[in-house]
Amino acid sequence: MPSALFQEVEFPEGRGGRIVRTHLHRPALTGNKDEAYLGGGRMCVKALFHLSRIHRDAHLLITGGRPRSMEERFAGKVGGVSEASVMRAYFNELAGQARSVKIVAESRTTEDDATAILDVVQSGQFETAIVVGMGFRLPRARLILERLAERTKRTSVADRVQFVDAEQFLPEHFDEFVAMNQSAAYALTMRQERYGVEKLLKG
């Protein structure tokens, strides 16, 4: 399991190349290293757990697949492990019992996650979907979902999706978030997030 905030990152095109996804099989790194990358999956699960206690009748869905590089490196030895299945196990650990948490384990990109969210909301079972994510990821995630909704003519579905940052539900981690914002990993991650937002805005 990666650390709460920091994961190692893969540079597919050398150190100046674009960052792809973080990986479950990578070791945790300290956050002041310039090769560290912000993950936050465990923080999002903790925030989801807090929300589930507020909205006790909510249906829970966790997205997160298995990157191609993980499959290539382990050649099928990881079985059914995915980011979503690991996060569901952590959620059930927090809850102290197995909860009905659906997962989407096939997604590889943020757009895959957005597609799954729109599909669930469009199914008609839910009036609103609350998407929990680390605050620094939400601007790009929201843009991706909005652009996808426009392309697939589902803007009315996207209007029913709300984005909330995980940090607001975790005041006990305030000092960690402060340290995160001051870290080399945060600067590295924000450069990549900025690149993604600018690319989306340019269309």
Find the angle CA(141)-CA(144)-CA(149) to the nearest 5 degrees.
125
Architecture of domain 6-202: 3-Layer(aba) Sandwich (3.40)
54: pLDDT strictly greater than 70: yes
Which pLDDT tens digit goes with each residue over 84-115? 888 888 899 998 877 788 888 888 788 999 99
Q: What is the overall mean pLDDT for the chain?
A: 77
Average pLDDT value for residue range 46-51? 92
164 or 124, higher pLDDT: 164
Which pLDDT tens digit goes with each residue over 62-84? 888 776 655 665 555 556 677 78
Q: Where are the beta strands (DSSP E) in the chain?
A: 6-8, 36-38, 60-63, 101-104, 129-133, 161-165
Find the angle CA(191)-CA(64)-CA(30) to the nearest 5 degrees.
50
CA gap 116, 121 in Å, rounded: 9
- pLDDT more than 70, % of the chain: 74
199: pLDDT strictly greater than 60: yes
